[in-house]
Each structure stands twice: as C-alpha cells, then as structure tokens.
Amino acid sequence: MLLKNLQTNFLGRNCIYYKKIDSTQKEIYRLIETNAITNGTLVMADIQTKGLGTHGRKWYTNEAGNIAFSFYIKTNCNIKKLSGLTLEIANIIVQIFKEKYNINLQIKEPNDIVVNGKKLGGILTETKMHLENVKYIVVGIGINTNKKNFTPDLENIATSIKKEFNMQVDVQNFIVEFCNKFEKEIIKRIQE
C-alpha cells in the first residue's frame, strides 16, 4: 500500500495494510523473525482481534475507521538517546489533532492519550537491546477515532473522537502526518 503525501526517507515507505489481523505489533515481530522487514516498515489495520497494550493488556480495535498501526525502526544507538521517546510520540499525536482538527487532547504519562478523563489512545514502545545499545524499536499506536460501542467495563474509562467530538478522522492522513513529523525527531536522536 502506498501512503500519499509521505515526505519521509524511510518511515512508512514500506506500508502493509490489513483489513483484519490479530495485532499489527505481532505482525512486525513475525516480519523480523523471517528477516522480511526493512527499516521504517509500517503495518496498519482496520481491525485487530488481539491488539496489544502495555503490561500485556489487550487493545480492542473491533470496528473499522480507528487508528491502529505499528512500525519498525532500525537503530544502533545508546538507550539514553531514546529516553522520553514514548512521551515525544504522544506529544506529536496531540499536536496533529490540534493542528488538523482543532481538538485539545491530554497526555497521561507515560503512554496514554486522554480526553475528558477517558482514555482515547495508547502507545506501546518496545526495544531490542544488545548491551547498552538499542538494535531496533517497534512502536504500536492505537487511537479510538471512530469507535462507537464500548463494553460495559470500558464505557466509563474509554472514549473516541467520534463519541466526544462527533468528527471523522482520516486515518491514512493522520498516519502520513505522524510519519512526516516523527521521522525528523527520531533521526535527530539516533544520528547525533
């Protein structure tokens, strides 16, 4: 799949799209295991049946039109250079929603995006280490943009852009914006 208006050198240049998959994060790891991955590979899906959150929690993406993607970046830098990376990703997400949709979202550190006290999205950042060096990072991002139905255990703690603001978010456009902004930041960190 080709992402339109991408201004990156590598991030998102290889984009794999699934209508339905178990987890975009797990798919990245399967590609790593089979050596079938290139730097900047991005996997996105309409529906995830077993999406991953932090601490082994599930991230449900059972309706189309939500943001669910993971990406792989090859690095060879000291772990200290990636300090605060998840928060930086959260800031980029909040910035895009402000610029494109005039929506103010908050960050619940270290990795949640919230609005009106309810969780809207999350970031899962994982690294592969060798001694003090990070060999690669795998980042998964899930944002409830279009989700209308929440199970009783989630309806008081989770929400979506659609539910809060009655707005439609262009998923591809958001991912392109994210890639364009994030690649600049990650290059600064890993090349310094």
- pLDDT tens-digit map of 154-187: 888 899 999 999 999 999 999 999 999 999 999 9
122, 66 Cβ separation under 8 angstroms? no
Query: Does residue 2 fall inside a structural domain?
Result: no
User: What stretches of 84-168 adopt beta strand conformation (E)?
Assistant: 106-108, 112-115, 118-130, 133-143
Inside any domain, residue 4: no
Average confidence (pLDDT) over 129-140: 94
CATH (domain of 76): 3.30.930.10
Specify if 99 maps to a domain: yes
| 87-111 per-position pLDDT tens digit | 999 999 999 999 999 999 999 998 9
Decide if pLDDT at 125 tops 90.
yes
Residue 174 lies in a domain: yes
Confidence class for position 52, pLDDT limits 50, 70, 90: low
- The strand pair at 58-61 and 67-78 is best described as unpaired
The number of folded domains in the chain is: 1
Residue 47: both structure tokens together: 């529906």
C-alpha distances in angstroms, 33 versus 29, 36, 144, 162? 6, 8, 29, 37
3-state secondary structure at position 10:
coil
Query: In the block, which residue shows the tokens 């994982």?
Result: 126
* pTM across the whole model: 0.93
Model confidence at 55: pLDDT above 60: no
